[in-house]
Amino acid sequence: MTETPQAVAPPEPLPGTEALFSLDPAVIHLNHGSFGALPVPVQDLQRRLHREQEADPDGFFADLPERVGAARARIAAALGTEPELLALVPNVTDAIAVTLANVPLAAGDHVLVTDHGYGTVTEAVRRRAEDAGAELRTVRLPLDLPDGDAVREAVLAAVTDRTALAVLDGITSPTARRIATPDLLRALRGRGVTTVVDAAHEPGMLAGPVPAEADFWFGNLHKWAFAPRATGVLVVRPEWAGKIRPLILSWEDHQGYPASVEWRGTLDYTPYLAAPAGLDVLEAFGPGAVRAHNEQLVGYGAALVAARTGLAPLPSSAGLSMRALRLPPGVAETLPQAQELMAAMWRRHAVRTVARPWPGGGVLRLCGQLYNRAPEYGVLADGLAGLLG
């Protein structure tokens, strides 16, 4: 049943969020899921870290591995995993590269992805399969699949006795729904399939620990956990930790995973050191309160856009700060068309949102975050109505 704005009321803004971000007030930011937004206290800490680094570079780098290790321990605790299983990485693009370099594949193996996967991750998997002589198989998940059970059954139906690897989204980027649930991961593990979870949107958005059923799990902290760009995590099951070799050998290589993956010479490590401060912000407002606010707000926004434009909301998963709606046939079916729609919303209405190409009509994704306010979705709705009219 499609929700209406009357059925979904917007939440009251959480107290203390008015000056928490430094976003341009002349811009309506409804695309938190792409690049995030950094709270001012975390910005301030990162600036202090930069000044500390430039005051004494030798001393800063001498102590850096231990300080990164301390940040790793704090982040691991927040994600419900062990520090020795978690490596800090710049983003999920790095994480999938490390993962694919360490997962054995043989000629004739089947590798599963879905058509909801993030483009660069899917492309990395395709290249790895091609190099190994494995066969990439794409599971088609219709946009109107009603629930998680239907998604689970569709993925499991594609598994064969030659399926060696499945690379699945925790929360899909274009369509904002869950795929790699613990139930699905458990079923795949029971069939002997190595599982890799692209959890780019999970840290900070979903409660609960990293699923123990996943062989490899990676996510970004700069989206919903308020960490600086670029900060991500790679988490592996215990049996993999001693086997991981980094893509680039460094002076910490002798330490083994995770330090061997984290250390990349003279990179900027201030995002890693400042990431725990993002968790502090989340804790100060209450993770449950933030999630409830964001879910209610984006639910209101999606219902409002649907009511004013006639767009159909796609099935959504509970607990998410993102929603998706289906655009009409002929709109945003290709990447250039989707880019033009986003550019038009920016030029005409100063709205930052995201559309993703899809055959038969693209997908519009909405986000809700502490800095968003209910009237902003009305501007998006009216602007879209005009563009699509």
pLDDT at 4: 42
Query: If you search the block for the tokens 């990164």, which residue do you land on?
Result: 68
Query: Is 75:278 a contact under the CB 8 Å cutoff?
Result: no
Nearest by Cα to 176 from 54, 350, 326, 19? 326
Question: Is the Cα torsion angle 273, 275, 278, 283 positive or negative in sign?
Answer: negative
* Helices 335-349 & 374-388 angle (0-180, nearest 10): 120
Query: Is 342:364 a contact under the CB 8 Å cutoff?
Result: no
d(CA 99, CA 161): 22
Q: What is the CA radius of gyration of the chain?
A: 21
pLDDT in tens, the chain (389 residues): 334 444 578 999 999 999 999 999 999 999 999 999 999 999 999 999 999 999 999 999 999 999 999 999 999 999 999 999 999 999 999 999 999 999 999 999 999 999 999 999 999 999 999 999 999 999 999 999 988 899 999 999 999 999 999 999 999 999 999 999 999 999 999 999 999 999 999 999 998 899 999 999 999 999 999 999 999 999 999 999 999 999 999 888 899 999 999 998 889 999 999 999 999 999 999 999 999 999 999 999 999 999 999 999 999 889 999 999 999 999 999 999 999 999 999 999 999 999 999 999 999 999 999 999 999 999 999 999 999 98
Q: What are the Cα distances from residue 363, in Å, to 89, 172, 194, 303, 358?
A: 29, 12, 30, 15, 7
**Greatest distance between any 2 Cα atoms in the chain:** 62
Query: Is 262:98 a contact under the CB 8 Å cutoff?
Result: no
Residues 6+ apart with CB under 8 A from 35: 222, 223, 229
d(CA 338, CA 198): 23
Tokens of 340: 């033009």
d(CA 380, CA 376): 7
Query: If you search the block for the tokens 């700060």, which residue do you land on?
Result: 321
Residues 6+ apart with CB under 8 A from 261: 87, 89, 98, 234, 244, 246
| Rounded (to 5) percent helix, strand, coil in the chain | 45, 15, 40
pLDDT at 1: 32
Strands laid side by side in the 363-367 sheet = 312-313, 322-326, 363-367, 354-356
Query: Is 295:320 a contact under the CB 8 Å cutoff?
Result: yes
Question: Is the Cα torsion angle 243, 271, 76, 208 positive or negative in sign?
Answer: negative
Query: Which residue stretches of the chain are H helix?
Result: 32-35, 40-55, 57-79, 92-102, 119-132, 148-157, 182-190, 238-241, 259-262, 270-285, 287-309, 335-349, 374-388
Q: What are the phi and psi torsion angles at 354 (to 5°)?
A: -135, 135
Nearest by Cα to 278 from 34, 45, 6, 35? 45
Q: Residue 348 CB: number of other CB atoms within 10 A? A: 11
Count Cβ neighbours within 10 Å for each residue of 179-202 and write b for 16 or more, e otherwise: bbbeebbebbbeeebbbbbbbbbb
Q: Which residues pair with 376 in a beta bridge?
A: none
Q: What are the Cα distances from residue 269, in Å, to 46, 249, 265?
A: 10, 17, 10
Query: If you search the block for the tokens 């290790």, which residue do you land on?
Result: 69
For the chain, the residue count is 389
In three-state secondary structure terms, 262 is: helix
